Structure 1
Amino acid sequence: MNNNDSGNTVGALLGDKPFGNVLIVGLGMIGGSFAKALKERGLATLYGADRREGELALGVSTGVIDYPAELTEQCIANMDVIVLATPVRAMESVLLEIKPYLKASTLLTDVGSTKGSVVEAAKKVFGEVPANFIPSHPIAGAEKSGVLAANSQLFEKHMAIVTPLFDSDPSLLDRLHQLWAALGSDVVSMDVKHHDHVLASSSHLPHLLAYTLVDALANSERSQDVFKFAAGGFRDFTRIASSDPVMWRDVFLSNKEATLATLDLFTDRLAVMRAAIEQGDGAGMFGVFTRAKSARDHFLRLLEQRTAGQSKEVKPLSMTVSPASAIKGEIFLSGDKSLSHKAITLACLSSGVSHLSNIDLTGDVRITMQAFRDMGVVIEEISADQLRVHGVGLKGLKAPIAPINVHQSSAALHQLMPVLAGQDFPVTLVGEGELLSQPMKELFDLVRAMGGHVMTAAADCLPVSLAPSVPQTVSLVLKNGSKRLHGAALLAMLYSPEAGELRACKYGIAQTKALFAYFGLQVTLDEGVVRLDSAVPQGAQIKLPGDVTQTAWLALSAALTPGSRLAIENALVGDMASPYVPFLKKIGANVRLLGDHSTGFDQGRLEVAFAPLVGFDLSATEVYGLRNELALVCVAAAYASGVSVIRGLSDLPYYYEDRVLCLVDALTHFGIVCEYSAGQLTITGGIPLGGELDCAGDYRLALAMLALGLRSREMTRVNDCQALLEEFTELGSVAAQLGFHCAVVQ
């Protein structure tokens, strides 16, 4: 919010000089900045009172206030707003002075960094806290002091905390919110006790540490050399030790209880760190450092969002694809995203150290990784695609200090839910965006089948809380469902007190079965019944194959475009991927697999060249095996000669059917004849017209639509591609390397 916007907005609500006469008691840096901000915006007539005559004179001469004032009956009775900006220990004496003259209609607030002591002072003076006294606290400041340090933009894009009491005047409370908002602050409400504990941790303790460290080093035998050779880190950490000592003495005396509680917590953690250094516990130290770095990085991202302003409109990203593309070249794909989630999870739950290479560390994989870091797992990033994970065992996770945020990642949620249900501590998972409104009944029922106690605010939606409960033998039937759900079911079986079983389709568990084997876990599949031995997972060394979704998209793109010659060096194929490559062969694609793929992951060199495709007829069973690639299957049908039939779509989980129906709309828009009835889709092959499509933010739909445009009559534009670019971060470089003519547009 800029200066003009602030004034105009509030002025429009309340008229010229909307806050009337405002008295600032205490013209230090905060009080002076408050006065200067209001004055420059033309929001009030500013009066200042200060026992330091020099500061008061400077306030007038520098234009921070309009008039000097004293705390007399004439002055106090004439004020619409009074702001107490004195040290917190002086509040009681100021309140005593103004009490006889204070009108009930005057908004009285303060800017002190502790609230409990201010509330107690008000009770002592008035007998109870007056309804017109509403404490507040701007989260802004600087090391400088005095009215000459006043900064009219100090509060912009900073938080201002309002701490109303149950009987605060609602009209004056609303006005206080408007007052801080007019200065550009993000205004939030908080109860008094919670405020003092939060500020003791985030503000008071850092100042105490900075003062204490500088004092300790200044009195050490090597103090001269310490300060002589101190670098930027020392300067940055101790910067706040230049703050006003009087103010901070008063802060600690007035917020003693919360400060001591926070200090005890810190000294306990410091003792743990000392022991780690003494014992040479590198893994323990590294765990603290990585968790701390991640937490601070998260804080900086939040700060950047607040500084930049969250109201800025984000332009949606679109992609165009030229029908002149030919897919040529050899490529080594980054690791499969789904397997990356699973490999990190199993490595964290293993005994020993795991080395994971060619792992995808982009997008929501980092959400899964951060969740385990928050629960005490040491995860070292060796390079851009390699991790060293120090496993803690199946039940060795530690309770996180806050709810685990999976943001908008369904994949992370499916990995974490069964694992957390098997721990001995309560935990809450929260999310963001569309994930909050997605029902998770199948996943939550799976956790309930483990014996997990699931509590949700809405019916089977996030947020969700898990409480420790008695484990039950896992016996599940998953004839349908996503690969994520099948993977979650296998993780749940790790925590079964007795050997459990799962009835599932082989295409749902093949990938996870192969991955489990690397960690010493034997999964057997016999006539649709999956069993898992009771062994404890062990550390492993794994090189992940290329991403299955990207492989499927590139293979179809090469098969469709004349002149294409594509080789994918590390393709995951066969049952572990899906029956997709055999399907392409069946409809005439020029596809062959080279290399030894008899052990570990079924991985090899996949070569694809152009060949005309022919129509096909897929049974419901075949469609279920191809459910993740169905959008690409429909594109293949659009270019195949003759008529293709896809059966059993209505038997799939709704999200697969919805994706196909969205693509059917796109095909129809491009002139491809489609008929859908009773779960059966018929597509007559042809040449798509091209034009503009919308993938509705669906990653797989976006890839299918780009493939659809490869041989269309004119250029194709696909809108809402943010998710695609977040999931497939190397799309631009891959396209450029292989001759796929696509571009990002806004």
Structure 2
Amino acid sequence: MTELNKVVIVGLGLIGGSLAAALKQSGACQKVIGVARREETCEQAMAMGIVDEAVTGVEQIAGQLGRNDIIFIAVPTLTVAKILNELKACVGPEVIITDGASVKGSVLIDVQSIYGKYPANFVLGHPIAGSEQSGVEASNPDLYHNHRVILTPVPENNADAVKAVRFMWELVGAEVLEMGVQDHDIVLAATSHLPHVIAFSLVDTLAHDSQNENIFRYAAGGFKDFTRIASSDAIMWRDIMLANKKSVLDAIDLFSSNLGRLRAAIEEENATEITGVFTRAKFARDRFTKMLEHSAYLKTMQNSEEKNIVYTVAPGGTVKGRIRVPGDKSISHRSIMLGSLAEGTTNIKGFLEGEDALATLQAFRDMGVVIEGPDNGSVTVHGVGLNGLQKPTGPLYVGNSGTSMRLLSGILAGQSFDSELTGDISLSKRPMNRVAKPLGEMGAIIGTAEEGRPPLKIHGGANLKGIQYDMPMASAQVKSCLLLAGLYAQGETRVTEPAPTRDHTERMLQGFGYGVERQGNAVSVKPGGKLTGTDIDIPADISSATFYMVAAAISPGSDITLTHVGVNPTRIGVINILKLMGANLSLQNEREVGGEPVADIRVQYAPLKGIQVPEDQVPLAIDEFPALLIAAACAEGKTVVTGAEELRVKETDRIQAMADGLANLGIECESTPDGIIVTGGQLTGGKVESFHDHRIAMSFTIAGLRATGAIEVNNCANVSTSFPNFVELAKKVGISLDVKSY
């Protein structure tokens, strides 16, 4: 469909007049006809040029209307029935009718009552736009541009009629959504009708406050902004309240109950409860604003594939300086999780304010945990105890974070309430059976999508039992998931790993006062203990530091020091592998902070050589291999990696993604089922695809230091998941990097 036939607009106030003006402006409608009760309104609409014809009754133009013409009813909700009676008397069933009433349930009842059965060509709708101004003189052709229109089709609807109404709204720049009639009225009662109730009531209350006549004279901007909607049409809003009575009353009751709890908290000076209300509200509002603005945080969490961030790296250069990369992502995740399950307060410093860790933080806020911050890496968590989490109101969305989903599944398996874990497009393609199956053996009831993929639907109230689980593949996430579930199980939970993996969960459990036993390659927990709030200083993330370690190792003249980096023995595979390749790397100022070993890492350029990577080092560097393969591409000879099949089930198939990218840049490589063989050579310029994988994107960025031409890396939006200031630090140490968004 490229053009509309005739559109008749019944009611030439702000809503109807603006649609008429927009359709005229579009030039894609053969004829726009206005219907208004007053002759003066018709004359004014004609004079303004927003209609081609204006009449005072539908019957006057009914004979002009035929198939696929559209009538839009733009009158107050309780007046719709009168218009329907008029339309039934003079308009045939081939004409499409739609409306703009704020309440759909009452219109649905009116339509069924007046017509006897639901007409296939009647499409219920509601444009979410407006102004405090009213009347035809307020008509604005841009009113619907970038605003939403909700259609609420019913089973009896003709699909072509719905399509035609959708086209009409899209023609004037609106975003058209669909939802059920009942859902619409419940949602609008909470998000539109309740705010108007509060605004009208607040202004009415203060207007009659005889004790303070200066309230309005000295009101601040916030008061004016909030009460602006109390200037809306009073009669229209009266009708909306009556038409949507049940949903509005439910919303008022819920608000009144929550307001009562807040009042009690203030009266009792319960600072934690007040903080919880205010922080939850602040961050919910911030997320909502960012979603509407399509800005970084929630946009990335919801769907990072919608925007293409492209990194272009100029060839050559050296890296020099002394920098501290963001806090360790693995420890940041666990500090929020265990801090929430602890009794008392946990104070965190060095928290990674990246997308993945923020997803974990938000999930626990959604389960009723009061969390202050983050503020420059500082977070305060008011723990609720092992059994204090509350049922979230909807699915827990964890964006691109596999760590969040896998570890949370272990915690949620032991809760009394049902829960659901969802992620973005990338995470939704990743297998979760590695945790779902052993959790099932413990007695958890978990549903997954096809092939064990998200979303995960976890049924509460399961009686978990401890198990002995021999992991078929080394994975810190699987181990941690089962240990966390073991906190809620009957009997001992014991996990045996085929090779050492990062032990942050075990260390942190002990730091919170919970007993953990390790015997050889097995680690176990028993139920019955408790976690006690503590202070945590998170070291810099060695995975993030890796990109600059490799950058210095491959570029002649480079000398860089990375400060306060976590060098946990289960995470230093990258250090060991780079040293085996001949890197000039040293640890300085070694110390222990909060149970985690920390050091400053200095790397100076030295020629690298290819090696057979020891398989016992692979699990200790599993996240660092994309960057290590750049080092391999710059080394003399072949580098052979085996035993790394887990790389194929990360954010993407990292083995194949790196093989394809390196081949595009002139490097000979061969992928194998469990690894890759890279023959060192000269990197050329070219375009590579990151496949929305943050580590792939950052690895090919540092490759530019040894390339003969510019390297362009596509789809880098997810870099913010683990390293929000990567670009800033890259430029600071000497990498010539340009960032563009498409």
TM-score, normalised on structure 2?
A: 0.91
> Alpha-carbon deviations, 1:198-229, whole Å to 9, x = none?
21111111111111111111111234111111
Residue 213 of structure 2: SS of its match in structure 1? helix
CA distance in 1, matches of 2:233, 2:360: 43
- The 1:172–1:227 alpha-carbon spacing in structure 2 relative to 1, beyond 3 Å, is same
CA distance in 1, matches of 2:134, 2:229: 12
Q: Does the alignment pair 1:289 with 2:278?
A: yes
The offset of 1:118, in angstroms, is: 1.9
Residue in 2 that maps onto 1:724: 719
Residue in 1 that maps onto 2:551: 557
- The 1:204–1:605 alpha-carbon spacing in structure 2 relative to 1, beyond 3 Å, is same
The offset of 1:295, in angstroms, is: 1.9
CA distance in 2, matches of 1:25, 1:704: 60
The offset of 1:654, in angstroms, is: 4.9
CA distance in 2, matches of 1:672, 1:305: 38
Q: Does the alignment pair 1:173 with 2:173?
A: no
- The 1:545–1:71 alpha-carbon spacing in structure 2 relative to 1, beyond 3 Å, is same
CA contact (8 A) 2:342 2:385 kept: yes
CA contact (8 A) 1:320 1:716 kept: yes
CA contact (8 A) 2:685 2:707 kept: yes
Residue in 2 that maps onto 1:32: 17
The offset of 1:263, in angstroms, is: 1.2
The offset of 1:538, in angstroms, is: 1.2
Residue in 1 that maps onto 2:429: 437
2:479 to 480, 486, 494: 486
CA distance in 2, matches of 1:83, 1:695: 48
The offset of 1:543, in angstroms, is: 0.9
Q: How does 1:647-658 map to 2 (within 5 A)?
A: 647-649=642-644, 654-655=649-650, 658=653
The offset of 1:694, in angstroms, is: 3.6
1:336 to 316, 322, 328: 328
Residue 236 of structure 2: SS of its match in structure 1? helix
- The 1:152–1:578 alpha-carbon spacing in structure 2 relative to 1, beyond 3 Å, is same
Residue in 1 that maps onto 2:244: 255
Residue 502 of structure 1: SS of its match in structure 2? strand
Q: Does the alignment pair 1:591 with 2:576?
A: no
1:190 to 168, 179, 195: 179
CA distance in 2, matches of 1:555, 1:592: 11
Mean Cα displacement is larger for which, 249-258 or 639-648? Answer: 639-648
TM-score, normalised on structure 1?
A: 0.90
Residue 596 of structure 2: SS of its match in structure 1? coil
CA distance in 1, matches of 2:164, 2:317: 62
CA distance in 2, matches of 1:181, 1:403: 30
CA contact (8 A) 1:341 1:365 kept: yes
Residue 225 of structure 1: SS of its match in structure 2? coil
- The 1:459–1:223 alpha-carbon spacing in structure 2 relative to 1, beyond 3 Å, is farther
CA distance in 2, matches of 1:93, 1:406: 49
- The 1:736–1:219 alpha-carbon spacing in structure 2 relative to 1, beyond 3 Å, is same
1:58 to 44, 68, 74: 44
Residue in 1 that maps onto 2:506: 513
Q: Does the alignment pair 1:403 with 2:395?
A: yes
- The 1:587–1:449 alpha-carbon spacing in structure 2 relative to 1, beyond 3 Å, is same
CA contact (8 A) 1:576 1:602 kept: no
Residue in 1 that maps onto 2:201: 212
CA contact (8 A) 1:368 1:415 kept: no
The CA RMSD over aligned residues, in Å, is 2.9
- The 1:344–1:50 alpha-carbon spacing in structure 2 relative to 1, beyond 3 Å, is same
Q: Does the alignment pair 1:568 with 2:553?
A: no
Residue in 2 that maps onto 1:545: 539
CA distance in 2, matches of 1:651, 1:171: 49
CA contact (8 A) 1:687 1:712 kept: yes
CA contact (8 A) 1:573 1:581 kept: no
Q: Does the alignment pair 1:323 with 2:316?
A: yes
Instruction: In structure 2, give the amino acid aligned to 1:495.
Output: Y
Instruction: List gaps (5 residues or longer) in structure 1.
Output: 1-8, 12-17
CA distance in 2, matches of 1:710, 1:533: 50
CA contact (8 A) 1:28 1:145 kept: yes
- The 1:554–1:490 alpha-carbon spacing in structure 2 relative to 1, beyond 3 Å, is farther
1:298 to 262, 287, 292: 287
> Alpha-carbon deviations, 1:674-707, whole Å to 9, x = none?
4566757554545545555443333333343344
Residue 442 of structure 1: SS of its match in structure 2? helix
CA distance in 2, matches of 1:110, 1:529: 66
CA contact (8 A) 1:619 1:648 kept: no
CA contact (8 A) 2:553 2:583 kept: yes
Residue 439 of structure 1: SS of its match in structure 2? coil
The offset of 1:290, in angstroms, is: 1.5
Mean Cα displacement is larger for which, 401-410 or 247-256? Answer: 401-410
Q: Does the alignment pair 1:579 with 2:573?
A: yes
CA contact (8 A) 2:647 2:655 kept: no
- The 1:531–1:242 alpha-carbon spacing in structure 2 relative to 1, beyond 3 Å, is same
Q: How does 1:323-472 map to 2 (within 5 A)?
A: 323-325=316-318, 327-381=319-373, 383-468=375-460, 469-472=462-465
The offset of 1:655, in angstroms, is: 4.6
CA contact (8 A) 2:353 2:724 kept: no
Residue 600 of structure 2: SS of its match in structure 1? strand
Residue in 1 that maps onto 2:61: 75
The offset of 1:420, in angstroms, is: 1.7
> Alpha-carbon deviations, 1:496-533, whole Å to 9, x = none?
23221111256324232222222122333212111125
Residue 626 of structure 1: SS of its match in structure 2? helix
Residue in 2 that maps onto 1:605: 600
Instruction: List gaps (5 residues or longer) in structure 2.
Output: none
> Alpha-carbon deviations, 1:264-287, whole Å to 9, x = none?
111111111111111111111211
The offset of 1:313, in angstroms, is: 8.3
CA distance in 1, matches of 2:264, 2:422: 34
- The 1:46–1:715 alpha-carbon spacing in structure 2 relative to 1, beyond 3 Å, is closer
- The 1:496–1:243 alpha-carbon spacing in structure 2 relative to 1, beyond 3 Å, is same
> Alpha-carbon deviations, 1:277-324, whole Å to 9, x = none?
111111112111121122222222232249xx9999845412315323
Residue in 2 that maps onto 1:4: none
CA contact (8 A) 2:311 2:701 kept: no
Residue 335 of structure 1: SS of its match in structure 2? coil
Mean Cα displacement is larger for which, 276-285 or 313-322? Answer: 313-322
Mean Cα displacement is larger for which, 212-221 or 690-699? Answer: 690-699
Instruction: In structure 1, give the amino acid aligned to 2:518.
Output: L
Residue in 2 that maps onto 1:617: 612
Residue in 2 that maps onto 1:699: 694
> Alpha-carbon deviations, 1:478-497, whole Å to 9, x = none?
24244333332332222223
CA distance in 1, matches of 2:8, 2:639: 79
> Alpha-carbon deviations, 1:625-650, whole Å to 9, x = none?
33333334434444444554433345
How many residue pairs get aligned? The number is: 728
Q: Does the alignment pair 1:525 with 2:518?
A: yes
The offset of 1:355, in angstroms, is: 0.8
CA distance in 1, matches of 2:663, 2:84: 74
Residue in 2 that maps onto 1:15: none
> Alpha-carbon deviations, 1:599-653, whole Å to 9, x = none?
6111122233233334433343333433333334434444444554433345876
The offset of 1:587, in angstroms, is: 3.7
The offset of 1:105, in angstroms, is: 1.2
Percent of aligned pairs with the same amino acid = 34
The offset of 1:432, in angstroms, is: 2.1
Mean Cα displacement is larger for which, 171-180 or 195-204? Answer: 171-180
Residue 520 of structure 1: SS of its match in structure 2? coil
Instruction: In structure 1, give the amino acid aligned to 2:556.
Output: P
CA distance in 2, matches of 1:692, 1:129: 56
> Alpha-carbon deviations, 1:388-408, whole Å to 9, x = none?
111111221111112222222
